[in-house]
Structures are given as C-alpha cells and as structure tokens.
Amino acid sequence: MDALAIARACADAMWADDVASRALGMELIAVEPGHAVLAMSVTEAMVNGHDLCHGGYIFMLADSAFAFACNTYNQRTVAQHCAITFVAAARRGDRLVAQATERMRAGRSGIYDVTVTREEGFVIAEFRGNSRAIEGEIVPGLKPRGPARAKP
C-alpha cells in the first residue's frame, strides 16, 4: 500500500471507533499523510443563551482534526499538549471547518497546526498540538509498499 492508502485506512478505522466525534455531527472531509480536514455545524446544544458557541466545541473539532492528521502512518499516536487561541466567535448554525497540517515529526514527537474557519474562510481559532507516538498499530498488519521496499 502507498502512503495515501495507508492514511485513508487509518482514518477509516479511527472514524469507525470515534463515537464522540460522530455524535457531534463531525464530517471527515479529507485525509492525507499528516493532514486532515473535518467539518462540524454549531448546533443548539453547543451554544449559550446568546447563540455563541462554547469554546470547548471549537477545541473539540480542532483536536479531532489533529488526531486524524497525526494518526495517518499506522502508528498509534496520542495528544500530549494542545494550545488554542480563540480569534473570533462562532454562532449557532455556523459550519466550521478544521484543517490540520503537520509541521514536523522527529522521532516519536510531532507538531500539528490546525486552523478552524467558518465555511467561508474567516478564521475562528488557531490550534497547535504536540503528539507522541505510542506502541501499537491502528490497522494491525497494514504494510507500506513503496518504491524503496518493492524489490529485494
């Protein structure tokens, strides 16, 4: 399998397992090695009396995009430290999109940047996650099959 196929297989397995993200109505829009895009609409259960979205739900969308992005290499990887800056408010009915991009990986550590926007592109929050690879595969037995390994 090539890197993209592995990334997608990992995302499918994680998605099947991630009750929490699905229960919030998140959609997995795209996934590539080190990247993921998720979307979520702000529902009535996510807002306060002024129709403003609780910051925790914005974090949750960003955190899910981070988790999908850092788990695209079939090595189980967890969040260690996350930081979020809230830039603007989100309101009931807004459709939010989180784009997670890998900034670096070195050894077992990685850094991922996630930008959360309203669908039209206006920035709501900027998130940075520090990940750490742990023991275990996401899809047991999945093997990379790239040029460097093609032939003995």
Q: By CB under 8 A, name the binding residues for its own copies.
A: 16-21, 23, 44-50, 53-57, 59-60, 63-64, 67, 78-88, 103-104, 106, 109, 111, 113, 115, 123, 126, 128, 130
Dihedral sign computed on CA atoms, order 40, 42, 43, 46: positive
Minimum CB separation of residue 42 from its own copies in Å reads 10
Nearer Cβ to its own copies (29/45): 45
Q: What is the DSSP letter of 63?
A: H
Closest CA to 60 of 87, 84, 78: 84
Minimum CB separation of residue 63 from its own copies in Å reads 5
Nearer Cβ to its own copies (3/79): 79
Contacts of 58 (CB under 8 A, 6+ apart): 84, 86, 90, 96, 116, 124, 125
For residue 69, give the amino acid letter: A
Minimum CB separation of residue 41 from its own copies in Å reads 14
